[in-house]
Amino acid sequence: MAAIRTFLVSSSVLVAMVGCGPIGGVETGDAKGRGNDPILPASADTEDRETADPVTVVTGNATAENGGGACPVPTGMPAAGALTANEPLPDPFTSLDGTRITRKDQWTCRRAEISAQVQEYELGPKPARPSILTGTFASDVLSITTGEEGKTIDFTVSITRPAAAAAGPIPALIAIGGSSLDATVFAERGIATINFNNGEMGAQGNMQGMPSTRGQGKFYELYGANHGAGSMMAWAWGVSRIIDALESTPEANIDTKHLAVTGCSRNGKGALVVGAFDERITLTIPQESGAGGSAAWRISRMQNDAALALNPAATPNDGRVQLLVDAQGEQPWFRESFSQFNNIENRLPYDHHMVLGLVAPRALFVIDNSTQIWLGSESSYTDSVVGGEIWKSLGLLGMMGASQVGDHDHCAFPASQRTELAAFVDKFLLDDTSANTEVMHSDRVTPDLARWQPWTTPTLE
């Protein structure tokens, strides 16, 4: 039985979180405090809550998917207008009760707080594993059935085993909507590729001014069209169910202890969300993910304002940077109520350096393109450098890296990044501890850390 406590919170301090476990993550309920009810559809999001609300704090059980599940998790947080504007990137080490963490084991519950905030404000809730989950494997296709009694969905993924693959279980790359990385890096090392049709799970495709695809896809068939999760969280839930099925289907011959995830552009955003919300992912590789991915909402605003100051007529194809309001209007990637933060992104109590940090202490390699201005090149690299401080605090140098190289087409993987990618693959999918993964560089951007990181990085004990 979950433990439940209720607190009244202000706009600046939500709730003091207590209890820690091994380093890990968490699933939370949605904005109405429904918890992880498997098939309870979410009603429409409540917006414009300007005063402090009672906050229900729920503790559940830790799982392999979410090791921080035993941490108390707040639901029902203040609306955008009740939060305090904060220009620099928020301190990831300051807990919701205002104290700073000082020990490595405290990262578990600090991470759970960040996870709860990101789900509450931006992505929507990720439901827990349903009670029904089966997998069958035949002819290189894994077929999955999942749901609850009286309501299930079916979907499939293809698994490609390279000629160099060993006979037994082998590592795998989960490709969100396909992979834009150098496929030979994985094939030559005998690593399988699992192709996930994320648009089938949570639809995308509409552009601004076109009919919305919100609430469409297999996830919403199961949980209802009004569920609070945006499509990226639907994709993350789908990948978690793939891993569940792989764990119970040994004939697929996949080593579920050595899984990577990747995607480029919109699918790169999704790859980051997948890695942030399932701790069974060993290596997360978002590529050119931009707004909603490796870029920080606050820094993108600054970069865009600077571009417009130089050229008021700047466009997405000529100097403009994608902002929160742009991304929220382009696709149903985020929960509907995320529009509360249109043009006031500095009220968010976190930013994407902390979303990157949700992957910690596991491995993360951010691949970016310095000449893709619309994606927020300065924003993405600066955010990655600041996010890397979380791994630094945990004493995990080489577990997180970022590489930003320009002068190539969007999602065209340059040969200059192949050695770096191979090192991350060797170390984290093949356990080659000699591989050098201390990578943090950009060919154009020098981060203004004095502006964006006013806090110091602790050395956690």
Residues with catalytic function: 265, 410
- Is residue 99 within 8 A of residue 117, CB to CB? The reply is no
- Distance, in Å, from the CA atom of 397 to the CA atom of 393, rounded to the nearest integer, reads 9
CA angle 36, 41, 43 (to 5 degrees): 110
- Distance, in Å, from the CA atom of 142 to the CA atom of 251, rounded to the nearest integer, reads 10
In the three-class reduction of DSSP (H, G, I as helix; E, B as strand; rest coil), residue 310 is classed as helix
In the three-class reduction of DSSP (H, G, I as helix; E, B as strand; rest coil), residue 319 is classed as strand
State the angle between helix axes of 266-276 and 231-247 in degrees (0 to 180), rounded to the nearest 10: 60
Helix (H) or strand (E) holding 15: none
- Distance, in Å, from the CA atom of 127 to the CA atom of 329, rounded to the nearest integer, reads 24
Q: How far is CA 55 from CA 37, 50, 83, 250, 347, in A?
A: 18, 14, 15, 43, 19
- Is residue 259 within 8 A of residue 359, CB to CB? The reply is no
- Is residue 267 within 8 A of residue 228, CB to CB? The reply is no
- Distance, in Å, from the CA atom of 317 to the CA atom of 312, rounded to the nearest integer, reads 13
Closest residue by Cα to residue 272 from 257, 259, 283: 283
Which residue shows structure tokens 């209720």?
A: 6
Closest residue by Cα to residue 295 from 315, 265, 319: 265
Interacting residues of 15 by C-beta distance below 8 A, sequence separation 6+:
7, 9, 55, 57, 72, 74, 96, 97
Burial 317-340 (b: 16+ CB within 10 A, else e): eebbbbbbbbbbebbbbbbbbbbb
- The torsion angles phi and psi of 55, rounded to 5 degrees, stand at -115, 125
- Is residue 265 within 8 A of residue 288, CB to CB? The reply is yes
- Is residue 44 within 8 A of residue 93, CB to CB? The reply is no
